Amino acid sequence: DWRKLLPGVWFHDPGLATTSGAESAITELDGENGILRYRGYPIEQLAEKSTFLEVSYLLLNGELPNQQQSDGWVNEITHHTYLHEKFRRKMYDSFHYDAHPMGLLCSNVAGLSTFYPDSKEIDDPANRMQQAVRLIAKMPTLATSAYRHSVGQPFVFPDNTLDYASNFLRMMFELGNPYEVDPAFQRAMEVLLILHADHEQNCSTTTARVVGSSHTDPYTAMSAACGALYGPRHGGANEAVLNMLDGIGSYENVEPFIEGVKAGNERLMGFGHRVYKNYDPRARIIKEAAHDVFAVTGTNPLLDIALKLEEAALSDEYFISRKLYPNVDFYSGLIYESMGFPRNMFTVLFAIGRMPGWLAHWDEMLDQDSRIARPRQLYTGEAERDYIAMSDR
Ligand code: CMC
């Protein structure tokens, strides 16, 4: 404990790049070697063999479920997907028709706290798990309600006979005729959600822990995490990547764009990471998953520009010397767009995937009886001075 070893000493570390704020047994990330493991299981194995709900159970409970536990868990999640009708109608109707779905999601996740006042009992682990079930179950319903509202389409109620990913896809896209879920889309959705499920102390997870450390309820803490995810440096990057690819427009413009990035005029979105100084293992898996989706939908015309951009960046001294590689967001947007998701839903998809990770960290933090997050600062303002009357200013 530094406070006892060096009383009165503290550290100045903007961006907390060299500060560990937590002890955690959830996710292991070795950025130098491109390794990512949830509870010890390599992300590659989970993406290939597991499901999103199984991974959610693993993150929250520490172990893979046996058959009975798995059946119980899936059943619980499946039966908490509905939103209170009053909440759904009134909350969504109160937003403008073109409201960004991420803005709706942040607000409505927080709004749920008013429906579940029992969630304030954060000292009770069983109660915490109950809220975790509700949040994971309701995320697709919240997300698709936001989308349907933004395009003026009637809301589609959850179907308890479907698996998590299929239910989500159906609530998104069913219109008029029954929606048949393509198995390639279902699997791609599972893989993408698994890849986003946790990433240790990233900006939004840290937010969940910091806000949770004040002992507020989980809906409010998770809403804060959604807010952190929204930004283009974090979960908003997937939307920004597609807008960037659109802006580049053609093959010939890739080189001038790279020059512009090197000159500091813009950022290469979907590239670089605070911790990965090697190829992001999630980007590798997503690149492969993209082919399965494109086999059904036909290729995304922006894929060629993305591949050329990656090739140009990976052979350029600027990116090599700074160890900048594609991250999870570089290719995910291309898949989402080919599946029919509008760009303003990309970060919402990230949020659905990240919810179990946020919850697992929040739960772990409360188990550890952690202290309230309250960093120090280096004060750089004025020294003491006397108040000046308005007439003398
Ligand atoms: N394009 C161009 N240059 C970059 C980029 C980029 N995307 N990322 C970092 N750099 C440069 C940066 O200018 C700096 O150069 P210099 O040493 O000359 O000043 C150097 O690389 C180190 O970068 P940094 O700013 O210290 O890196 P950071 O750890 O503070 O930021 C980041 C990490 C992810 C915010 C940043 O790489 C970035 O803005 N990337 C684009 C946005 C993006 O794709 N975000 C998604 C991250 S992965 C999904 C998630 O977890 O949210």
pLDDT > 70: percent of the chain: 100
Distance 363 CA to ligand 1 centre (A): 30
User: How far is the C-alpha of 353 from the C-alpha of 362, rounded, in Å?
Assistant: 16
Confidence at 5, pLDDT banded by 50, 70, 90: confident
- Determine the pLDDT at residue 299: 86
β-strand partners of 30: 35
- 283 or 359, higher pLDDT: 359
- Clarify whether 273 is annotated catalytic: yes
- Clarify whether 234 is annotated catalytic: yes
For residue 332, give the nearest of 317, 320, 319, 347 by alpha carbon.
Answer: 347
- Determine the pLDDT at residue 277: 87
262: Cβ below 6 Å to ligand 1?
no
- Determine the pLDDT at residue 260: 96
pLDDT (average), residues 339-351:
96
- Whose Cα sits closest to atom 48 in ligand 1? 327
Ligand 1, atom nearest to 280 Cα: 48
pLDDT (average), residues 6-13:
87
- Clarify whether 329 is annotated catalytic: yes
Confidence at 135, pLDDT banded by 50, 70, 90: very high
104: Cβ below 6 Å to ligand 1?
no
237: Cβ below 6 Å to ligand 1?
yes
Largest interatomic CA distance in the chain: 77
Structure tokens at 121: 């009992």
- Whose Cα sits closest to atom 10 in ligand 1? 272
- Determine the pLDDT at residue 300: 84
What are the backbone dihedrals phi and psi of residue 144, each rounded to the nearest 5 degrees, phi first?
-75, -30
Confidence at 203, pLDDT banded by 50, 70, 90: very high
Pocket test for ligand 1, best of 267, 279, 332, 348 (most atoms within 8 A of CB): 267
Asked if the model's pLDDT at residue 308 lies above 90, the reply is yes
User: How far is the C-alpha of 61 from the C-alpha of 66, rounded, in Å?
Assistant: 12
210: Cβ below 6 Å to ligand 1?
no
192: Cβ below 6 Å to ligand 1?
no
Distance 275 CA to ligand 1 centre (A): 10
- Whose Cα sits closest to atom 16 in ligand 1? 322
Distance 351 CA to ligand 1 centre (A): 21
pLDDT (average), residues 112-139:
97
Would the pTM of this model clear 0.85, i.e. be above it?
yes
Instruction: Give the full edge-to-edge strand order of the sheet including 27-30.
Output: 27-30, 35-38, 41-42
* Cα dihedral: 98, 140, 197, 127 (round 10): 120
Q: Out of 217, 280, 329, 363, pick the active-site residue.
A: 329
Contacts of 384 (CB under 8 A, 6+ apart): none
Q: Out of 273, 280, 361, 363, pick the active-site residue.
A: 273
pLDDT (average), residues 314-336:
93
Identity of the residue numbered 333:
G
Distance 274 CA to ligand 1 centre (A): 7
- Determine the pLDDT at residue 364: 98
172: Cβ below 6 Å to ligand 1?
no
Confidence at 134, pLDDT banded by 50, 70, 90: very high
Asked if the model's pLDDT at residue 3 lies above 80, the reply is no
User: How far is the C-alpha of 163 from the C-alpha of 144, rounded, in Å?
Assistant: 16
Asked if the model's pLDDT at residue 343 lies above 90, the reply is yes
pLDDT (average), residues 255-281:
92
At 79-114, the pLDDT tens digits run 999 999 988 888 888 999 889 999 999 999 999 999
At 363-379, the pLDDT tens digits run 999 999 789 999 999 99
* Residue with token string 């059943």: 75
User: How far is the C-alpha of 88 from the C-alpha of 203, rounded, in Å?
Assistant: 29
At 208-266, the pLDDT tens digits run 999 999 999 999 999 999 999 999 999 999 989 999 999 999 989 999 999 999 999 99
DSSP codes joined into one string, 9-21: -----GGGTT---
